Amino acid sequence: MYKRLGSLVSYSYVHNSKLLTQKHFRFIHSEIEPTMSTTSGLVIPCKAAIAWEAGKPLVIEQVEVAPPQAMEVRIKIKYTSLCHTDLYFWEAKGQNPLFPRIFGHEAAGVVESVGEGVSDLQVGDHVLPVFTGECGDCRHCKSEESNMCDLLRINTDRGVMLNDGKSRFSISGTPINHFLGTSTFSEYTVIHSGCLAKISPLAPLDKVCILSCGISTGLGATLNVAKPKKGSTVAVFGLGAVGLAAAEGARIAGASRIIGIDLNPKRYEEAKKFGVTEFVNPKDHDRPVQEVIAEMTNGGVDRSIECTGNINAMISAFECVHDGWGVAVLVGVPNKDAVFMTKPIIVLNERTLKGTFFGNYKPRTDLPSVVDMYMNKKLEVEKFITHRVPFSDINKAFEYMLKGEGLRCIISMEE
């Protein structure tokens, strides 16, 4: 079958699908597609959702996507979803504005072509893009304790590729900025190979796309950083997808009490599905929520995980852990001018404050195993997916998040 791709023609393979199962089909398709692609090395015109101005609806228009350069990969995005970090930078309230820009960083796709020097990814591989990368060579990548790669760690202010300091996206010659090195709100995007995790070709991309950021972040914040012991008490601040993934981690770790804290009372019903046993709304109390939690738990929780991005919640999350052993983990992305203030005596009394990016998972090394946790039914991903929209309705995903409705909205690029 011939398929038109802008002004280019490419082949795609057609199976006699009656003879094959869906899984076989997906697997064979991913192997066969590569040799038939004719777009390699060419500019691809395709649709992308452009943010021209802060807080204004995205506009879907044709962009030109340049071929990948050295150590870069061009991928065809199949599904993407919206994470709060996209929303913050799109609103640009308290963040550096950089427009026009193509947002999006939580996604799944298929490799279309690879640049010079890329040896571990091939055309047709199924991949998850990640906002922070793993070069494999720096001190951080070589350390067992860190995922803060020197070369590819998250950079929210950069709108260009590292290789030449230029964008791979343009509209009539005007460059469009990248976001987090991923820009997944585009049918095709160019990403550094160190920011792509190769995953099982059997994993359903319309589900595992949410493991590319939010869910792995929350899960890892609990399992890799807070590390609650079996039977312990865990507080989770913010019951969006990231916080509920942190609660999921607490449930997997065997926590006996999981206390959910959110300003939005609608979150509680949903949170019960994730093992949250108690709910506290700071608005219902006329004293700091850390005092309420300390009273509920005979002095404080064993672990707390903050997933709101709100500075007051960060301080409460730290101050509500028990002295002697309590550990608080910050996950939310704060306003760039926010300052964390607490009394040093609260730290001195043997409380620990930690922070994490991407749940301390090394993207390329560890993410495939998070996908396998889903494939082996240890991790439930479906319960995070509350909405689905076609790419043409991408602004609806923003509306749902602004209204605090649902958890994750999957945006399907092919509808």
Q: Taking the alpha carbons of 193, 127, 191, 249 in that order, is the dihedral positive or negative?
A: negative
> Which residues are bridge partners to 235 per DSSP?
259, 304
User: How many whole angstroms from its chain centre is CA 48?
Assistant: 19
Is the distance from CB of 334 to CB of 300 less than 8 angstroms?
no
Residue 367 makes contact with ligand NAD by CB under 6 A:
no
Residue 95 makes contact with ligand NAD by CB under 6 A:
no
Q: Which does 241 bind (CB under 5 to 8 A by kind): Zn ion, ligand NAD, none?
A: ligand NAD
Q: Please identify which residue in 262, 302, 319, 366 interacts with ligand NAD, judged by CB under 6 A.
A: 262
Residue 211 makes contact with ligand NAD by CB under 6 A:
no
Say how far apart CA 102 and CA 59 lie, in whole Å: 10
Please, what is the minimum distance in Å from the beta carbon of residue 332 to ligand NAD?
A: 3
Question: Residues for the chain: how many in total?
Answer: 415
Look up 408 and say whether it is catalytic. yes
Residue 149 makes contact with Zn ion by CB under 5 A:
yes
Nearest to 237, CA basis, from 356, 353, 327, 317: 317
Pull the structure tokens for residue 14: 């057609």
Q: Please identify which residue in 209, 247, 307, 329 interacts with ligand NAD, judged by CB under 6 A.
A: 307
Look up 409 and say whether it is catalytic. no
Pull the structure tokens for residue 138: 């720096």
Residue 309 makes contact with ligand NAD by CB under 6 A:
yes
User: How many whole angstroms from its chain centre is CA 314?
Assistant: 20
- Total binding residues toward ligand NAD, as defined by CB under 6 A: 33
Pull the structure tokens for residue 1: 């079958």
User: How many whole angstroms from its chain centre is CA 131?
Assistant: 7
Looking at residues 90 to 129 of the shown chain, list those that interact with Zn ion (rule: CB under 5 A).
none
Look up 351 and say whether it is catalytic. no
Q: What are phi and psi of 190, to 5 degrees?
A: -110, 130
Q: Please identify which residue in 89, 185, 188, 357 interacts with ligand NAD, judged by CB under 6 A.
A: 357
Look up 84 and say whether it is catalytic. yes
Look up 320 and say whether it is catalytic. no
Is the distance from CB of 106 to CB of 84 less than 8 angstroms?
no
Q: Which does 312 bind (CB under 5 to 8 A by kind): Zn ion, ligand NAD, none?
A: ligand NAD
Residue 310 makes contact with ligand NAD by CB under 6 A:
yes
Residue 138 makes contact with Zn ion by CB under 5 A:
yes
Angle, alpha carbons 143-216-51 (nearest 5°)? 105
Side chain identity at residue 383, one-letter code: K
Please, what is the minimum distance in Å from the beta carbon of residue 334 to ligand NAD?
A: 8
Residue 196 makes contact with Zn ion by CB under 5 A:
no
- Please identify, among the stretches 33-41, 91-99, 148-156, 377-385, the one whose residues bind Zn ion according to the rule CB under 5 A: 148-156
Q: Taking the alpha carbons of 21, 13, 394, 206 in that order, is the dihedral positive or negative?
A: positive
Q: Which does 305 bind (CB under 5 to 8 A by kind): ligand NAD, Zn ion, none?
A: none
Say how far apart CA 124 and CA 118 lie, in whole Å: 14
Q: Which does 149 bind (CB under 5 to 8 A by kind): Zn ion, ligand NAD, none?
A: Zn ion
Q: Please identify which residue in 50, 239, 259, 320 interacts with ligand NAD, judged by CB under 6 A.
A: 239
Which residue's entry shows tokens 């993207």? 363
Q: Which long-range contacts (CB under 8 A, 24 or more apart) does 140-149 make?
A: 141/362, 146/360, 147/357, 147/358, 147/360, 147/361, 147/362, 147/363, 147/366, 148/357, 149/194
Helix H or strand E segment including 55: none
Q: Please identify which residue in 67, 100, 133, 214 interacts with ligand NAD, judged by CB under 6 A.
A: 214
33, 74, 80, 85: which one is catalytic?
A: 85
Q: Which does 135 bind (CB under 5 to 8 A by kind): ligand NAD, Zn ion, none?
A: Zn ion
Nearest to 133, CA basis, from 333, 358, 330: 358
Residue 212 makes contact with ligand NAD by CB under 6 A:
no
User: Which residues are marked as active site?
Assistant: 83-85, 105-106, 135, 138, 141, 149, 153, 213, 408
Residues that bind ligand NAD (CB under 6 A): 83-85, 88, 213-214, 217, 237-243, 261-264, 267, 282, 307-310, 312-313, 331-333, 356-358, 404
Residues that bind Zn ion (CB under 5 A): 135, 138, 141, 149
